[in-house]
Structure 1
């Protein structure tokens, strides 16, 4: 598995969509599979923010630590994680689209351990479905919030 791209267009202002994806507390309210999220760095917003996310995956809790490495308000945010032998690099972008907001997520997964190199390609469909579900949840949340 190398790259997954998912796009959703929503009837919500850019700042609402960006605030939802860029703040882990808002994101965890939007995505039902996230059962707990906590900031674990002194930096609370923007580049350098580190946070721990606990989410349900196949009925089990999985914990991941993530870090914001790029942040341009109301434009894009990059979040990276090193988890279970894979480097995950996720870039969310927002832009206007005919009076609506387009949210795009591009997720790159680069396995560096043997087992993830074997398993990640087999799991690509499941991971893409989970990402699509997250994006659908963000769309629903943003459209209800404004």
Structure 2
């Protein structure tokens, strides 16, 4: 599947947009498909935070364990998951623009199991659509809380 990039222009301050994507509690409030978040570490913010996210995916529940591996305040956050034979590496970046903030999500999927290498390319369109839906939800959340 390789890399998917989604960018949204959000009419809200960079700090609000970053706080929405970097604080897992805020992100789960912004994205309606996330039905539950369970922290697997005592810390709930920053590098080393691990959590299990449950989503409603087309009427089915799917849970994934994720870890925050990089965080530079008001700049970027990297969240990584190793699931079903693929390492999913998601990088959210925020950049101040004249009319608000540009939020970019770059998701890189590296399959290391044969079945994942076969199936992942067929999932790319569905994944891009899901990521775009998440980004629209973040946009709406930030603009309504601005």
1:48 aligns with 2:48: yes
State the shift of 1:97 in Å: 1.2
CA distance in 2, matches of 1:75, 1:144: 22
State the shift of 1:44 in Å: 2.0
Per the alignment, residue 35 of structure 1 pairs with 35
CA distance in 1, matches of 2:14, 2:49: 21
CA distance in 1, matches of 2:141, 2:92: 16
CA distance in 1, matches of 2:37, 2:15: 21
Q: Is contact 2:35–2:55 with CA below 8 Å preserved after alignment?
A: yes
CA distance in 1, matches of 2:3, 2:34: 22
CA distance in 2, matches of 1:136, 1:43: 28
TM-score by length of 2: 0.98
State the shift of 1:12 in Å: 0.5
CA distance in 2, matches of 1:67, 1:59: 25
CA distance in 1, matches of 2:87, 2:110: 5
Please give the residue correspondences for 1:15-94 in structure 2 after superposition, counting only pairs within 5 Å: 15-94=15-94
Per the alignment, residue 137 of structure 2 pairs with 137
Runs of 4 or more, structure 1, over 3 Å off, are none
State the shift of 1:58 in Å: 2.2
Residue by residue over 1:53-110, the C-alpha shift from the partner in whole angstroms, topping out at 9 and shown as x without a partner, is: 0001121100000000000010000000001111000000001111310000000000
RMSD: 0.7
Name the SS of the counterpart of 2:46 in structure 1: coil
TM-score by length of 1: 0.98
State the shift of 1:38 in Å: 1.9
CA distance in 2, matches of 1:52, 1:20: 18
Per the alignment, residue 14 of structure 1 pairs with 14
